[in-house]
Structure 1
Amino acid sequence: MKASDLLVRCLEAEGVERVFGLPGEELEDLLFSLRASDVEFIPVRHEQGAAFMADVHGRLTGAAGVCLATLGPGATNLITGVADAHLDKSPLVAITGQGGRERLHKESHQALDIVQMFEPVVKWNTQIAEAETVPESVRKAFKLAQYEKPGATHLEFPEDVAAEFVEAVPLPTRPRVHRSDPDQTSLNQAVDLIETAEAPLVLAGNGAVRTPAARRLRELVEHVGMPAVATYMGKGAVSDRLDVSLMTLDSGPDGEAVAAIAEADCVLAVGYDIAEHDPKSWNPDRDKRVIHVDHEPAEVYEHYNPDVELVADISATLRGLRKRLDIETASAWYQDLRERIVADVSREPEPDDPFTVKRTLPYLRAAMADEDVLISDVGSHKMAIARHFRTYEPNTCIISNGLASMGIAVPGGVAAALAIDTNVVVATGDGGFLMNAAEIETATRLGLGFTIIVFTDDDYGLISEKQVSHTGEQFGTELTNPDFQQFAESFGIEGYRPETWGDIESTLERVVSTDELSLVEIRLE
């Protein structure tokens, strides 16, 4: 068979159901091999959108999402989404075409060293230079992408290799590699730190929402009575309905979550990456006893230098801690903070209150079931969602935070609508929305239904907020926008522009639960 046929058979063996990408001349053999397979090829409107779709698919399912682009600009357009997956620990396999090897030793049309270009933003990448290496290359790409900590990998596939005939078969997949149980000495040291602490606290990071870790973490915090705060990417690891939840590191009208972690003398950091949230903000004096629970050792950082590192399977570690801990922490030190946080995020606006993202969130939360998924783009609205949107299940509030890339929301909605059976809502600002709004066409072509909320203020609001806080003025952030209601209707979908809080409540209640694709513009005041 052709090497392109073999590569597609390898994708089938990995369980890949769809590939997001753009066609290209150098991909011709691979595209026709996909047509003859059980793998669905989904043409999108921009390679960045393809990578974001693969990124969100990986975060929601745990299986590597696959994106495809041609050489040159196709490959460079992929890089932002691939880098996002890399820093957010999302399993992703990127495949790029390349010109024939006979012209790569010299300057030629659209030829760039793409393998070298991808090197800083992937766990592993290679050029498939020989057809016989296709099975090993594909198997390695998926194994490393999905192995904890997951991330992105990349395969470059020259067109002359794709056209070669080869006698080979896919390598069989194996069960995922599992980390060992924690060592008993470290486990006992961690237990001693928690039992002797006066105010122990859990910090739930990105790793806490992967695998069965969230269930084990909930069992632990309820058993011990320890309060828990989450990073933006750890939202939902501990349900915000539980009395121990203090939501995220920045929650509360007066920084109550910050106050709690400031008062804590022992922090159990579960699946925490310092790329998620600078530890200097919560351990400025480096005086907290820290227990690091993760699949990899802690990064070297003066404000995050753990007393104990439990480098093992996270779920097994949490189970081991729960079995050994037989204490119940006094709740008085954090319950007042919890009550103020809950009151703040639950307050519905008064009729004459101006439209803000924060005040919209109680209505959005009420319109969504616990298992529905919210995908946030990046901007000032992301900060409000991270701090104030109550999250009840792991992986139901998807936030780009490691790279914090604008433009992820609409492509992410496409991937989510394909990957899961629950309702999907994407929230974006006007800046991030227009970066990849063309993927609405992809969604309509596929017959997908989800809700797009666009918060508009004609500004790159988060940047202008920071400029004003630093200098008292802003520059270079102001925008103009089309009529978003008409923009939505031009794609053949319903567009809404509610004018009152009652309109917002009734509109969200109606559209979130439907199977239709719709857009709701909320004009911020």
Structure 2
Amino acid sequence: MKASDLMIKALEAEGVEYIFGIPGEENLDLLESLRESSIKLILTRHEQGAGFMAATYGRLTGKVGVCLSTLGPGATNLVTPAAYAQLGAMPMLMITGQKPIKTSKQGRFQVIDAVDMMRPITKFTTQIVSGDRIPSVVREAFRLASEERPGAAHIELPEDIAAEETSAPLIPASTVRRPIAEYKAINAAVAMIEQAKSPVLVIGAGANRKLTCKMLREFVDQTGIPFITTQMGKGVLDEHGELFLGSTALSDNDFIHRALAKADLILNVGHDVVEKPPFFMRPGGAKVVHINFQSAAVDPVYFPQLEVVGDIANSIWQLKEKVTVQSQWDFDFFREVHAAYLTHRRELEDDDRFPILPERFVKDVRGALPGDGIVTLDNGVYKIWFARNYPAAYPNSLLLDNALATMGAGLPSAMAAKMVYPERAVIAVCGDGGFMMNSQEMETAVRLKLHIVVIVLRDDAYGMIKWKQANMNFANFGLDYGNPDFVAYAESYGAKGWRVGATEELQPRIRACLEEPAVHLIDVPVDYSLNDQTLNVTIRERSKAI
């Protein structure tokens, strides 16, 4: 058969449902093969949007999301999504085109070395030089992209290779069982837990796996040990319960760090060095047990005393089976800290000043969404407020990026989330800066008839950098801009546009948009002027008083 036909059959064999992207002339054989396949092409308006959608599909399903581009500028536009998936541990495969490699009459027009370009930001990258290599290359790309730690893979399919004939057979996926932790490590961890006075769990990005969530819930229910999450560990366990102490949204000085400073043992589950450190180790401080798929990457602030390396879910199950609740365990201080944090948080949650304060905004979004609703965040100062103040009830119900932390991913991520979970409510929260970086995907969302709500927080500036600029005593310079009429802009795509004119209008408007199937955009002016008071000064004073 034609090599491009074999390529599509190999993707079908891997269970691929969608290919997100923009084909070019170098992809035309592949596009024709795709036309009659079971895989659906999702044509986007920019390769970056396609890459973010593929990565988010991988993040939500655990299966490899696939995106497609042509050569040259199409391939370079996938660099940011590649880094997004690689740093965020999202399984994704990029397929890029290339000019013929056996004979070429166009010199180096549009030709770059995309394989070498992708090498530092992927787990696997290669050029297919023969149609007979397609089955093994595709199988290896999927294997590496999906195994722990997941990430990005890249295959370049040249135009002449795609058109050649091949009779190579497909290679089926092999059965894989992850290694489990050695029993001596489990027994040592049990001894440390039972000897501790104030143990605490810290749940990181690597623990955000379906079976791990189940085992952690059973472990917490059985032992009563309280837990803390990193930003990308949010929702692994229901954050409405009394054992949830909070999320590490700030680098230091927040209430949560007071609790961590009091712990004498930290069970660090699924720690990923890509995230900002959830705590800093100091000589003579709390002991740390590292529970992860891989061994620890040691640095000056992270040097665990014990490593339990193996399948995380199995490790937690083994600990649950062996740990006995101890009478000396004391969590009173943790509860005091959490109560102080809740008191602090609630002070501005009902404030009705306008433009809206972020505390009120987060509360209104949570109040409008059902428990299993999904919020996807772009990147901006509001991300701190969601990480800190938004109680997530389900895994992957608050999709934020604390790895690459790129702007422009919020809208495409919401689109992919709605495709994976069409029955669930989905809201994208974007700053005006991040939204405009991929706002053209509004047309894609309308064309796909997706029911999503896009909330644009408008402050007419790159607000997070402006806030840090002021905190570092620099002059206000270079960060303010103008915006389009977002309501008219949404309507020009065939979406529905809304403008909030008072804080009390927001939650009813969100609820109404969630009831009406369509692509909705809500323009919400936001006031970040109290960030210093509520995130820095007040926290330092109140947390010291505990």
The TM-score, its normalising length taken from structure 2, stands at 0.92
Aligned pair 1:304/2:302, yes or no?
A: yes
Q: Hey, what does 1:502 align to over in structure 2?
A: 504
Cα distance in structure 1, aligned partners of 2:114 and 2:107: 14
For residues 211-243 of structure 1, what are the alpha-carbon distances to aligned partners after superposition, in whole Å with 9 as ceiling and x for unaligned? 311121122122222221111100011211111
Cα distance in structure 2, aligned partners of 1:283 and 1:340: 24
Cα 1:402/1:353, change in 2 over 3 Å:
same
Shift, 1:288, TM fit: 2.4
Q: Hey, what does 1:67 align to over in structure 2?
A: 67
Amino acid at match of 2:119: E
Cα distance in structure 2, aligned partners of 1:64 and 1:342: 39
For residues 115-142 of structure 1, what are the alpha-carbon distances to aligned partners after superposition, in whole Å with 9 as ceiling and x for unaligned? 0000011111111111101001111111
Aligned pair 1:114/2:124, yes or no?
A: no
Deviation larger for 105-114 or 263-272: 105-114
Shift, 1:253, TM fit: 12
**For 1:206-355, what aligned pairs fall within 5 Å after superposition?**
206-250=205-249, 255-278=254-277, 281-284=279-282, 287-328=285-326, 329-345=329-345, 348-352=349-353, 354-355=355-356
Cα distance in structure 1, aligned partners of 2:170 and 2:388: 46
- Matched-pair contact (CA < 8 Å) for 1:253–1:344: no
SS in 1 for 2:472: helix
Cα distance in structure 1, aligned partners of 2:207 and 2:307: 16
Amino acid at match of 1:226: I
Cα distance in structure 1, aligned partners of 2:517 and 2:192: 50
Amino acid at match of 1:132: D
- Matched-pair contact (CA < 8 Å) for 1:252–1:340: no
Structure 2: state its 5+ residue gaps.
528-546
Deviation larger for 18-27 or 243-252: 243-252
Identity of aligned residues (%): 37
Cα distance in structure 2, aligned partners of 1:401 and 1:350: 28
For residues 404-429 of structure 1, what are the alpha-carbon distances to aligned partners after superposition, in whole Å with 9 as ceiling and x for unaligned? 11000111111111111311111010
SS in 2 for 1:471: coil
- Matched-pair contact (CA < 8 Å) for 2:248–2:387: no
Cα distance in structure 2, aligned partners of 1:109 and 1:448: 38
- Matched-pair contact (CA < 8 Å) for 1:251–1:341: no
Amino acid at match of 1:184: Y
- Matched-pair contact (CA < 8 Å) for 2:67–2:95: yes
Q: Hey, what does 2:416 align to over in structure 1?
A: 415
Cα distance in structure 1, aligned partners of 2:41 and 2:73: 20
Cα distance in structure 2, aligned partners of 1:394 and 1:474: 39
Shift, 1:59, TM fit: 0.6
Aligned pair 1:47/2:47, yes or no?
A: yes
- Matched-pair contact (CA < 8 Å) for 2:198–2:331: no
Cα distance in structure 1, aligned partners of 2:317 and 2:288: 19
- Matched-pair contact (CA < 8 Å) for 2:392–2:398: yes
SS in 1 for 2:78: helix
- Matched-pair contact (CA < 8 Å) for 2:351–2:357: no
Cα 1:344/1:393, change in 2 over 3 Å:
farther
The CA RMSD measured in Å over matched residues stands at 1.9
Deviation larger for 347-356 or 456-465: 347-356
SS in 1 for 2:93: strand
Cα 1:324/1:466, change in 2 over 3 Å:
same
For residues 306-326 of structure 1, what are the alpha-carbon distances to aligned partners after superposition, in whole Å with 9 as ceiling and x for unaligned? 111111110000011111111
Alignment length (residue pairs): 523
Shift, 1:342, TM fit: 3.5
Cα distance in structure 1, aligned partners of 2:442 and 2:48: 14
Deviation larger for 451-460 or 488-497: 488-497
Aligned pair 1:26/2:12, yes or no?
A: no
Q: Hey, what does 2:523 align to over in structure 1?
A: 521
- Matched-pair contact (CA < 8 Å) for 1:95–1:156: yes
Cα distance in structure 2, aligned partners of 1:443 and 1:71: 25
Cα 1:367/1:64, change in 2 over 3 Å:
same
Deviation larger for 33-42 or 195-204: 195-204
For residues 4-49 of structure 1, what are the alpha-carbon distances to aligned partners after superposition, in whole Å with 9 as ceiling and x for unaligned? 0000001111110110010101001001110011111111011111
- Matched-pair contact (CA < 8 Å) for 2:371–2:393: yes
Q: Hey, what does 1:397 align to over in structure 2?
A: 398
- Matched-pair contact (CA < 8 Å) for 1:179–1:312: yes
Q: Hey, what does 1:431 align to over in structure 2?
A: 433
Deviation larger for 258-267 or 351-360: 351-360
SS in 2 for 1:153: strand
For residues 79-129 of structure 1, what are the alpha-carbon distances to aligned partners after superposition, in whole Å with 9 as ceiling and x for unaligned? 101110000000001100011113689951011111000001111111111
Amino acid at match of 1:475: F
- Matched-pair contact (CA < 8 Å) for 1:368–1:513: no
Cα distance in structure 2, aligned partners of 1:296 and 1:501: 47
Q: Hey, what does 1:367 align to over in structure 2?
A: 368
Amino acid at match of 1:315: A
The TM-score, its normalising length taken from structure 1, stands at 0.96
Cα distance in structure 2, aligned partners of 1:156 and 1:204: 37
Q: Hey, what does 2:99 align to over in structure 1?
A: 99
Cα distance in structure 2, aligned partners of 1:476 and 1:215: 48
- Matched-pair contact (CA < 8 Å) for 1:346–1:362: no
- Matched-pair contact (CA < 8 Å) for 1:345–1:389: no
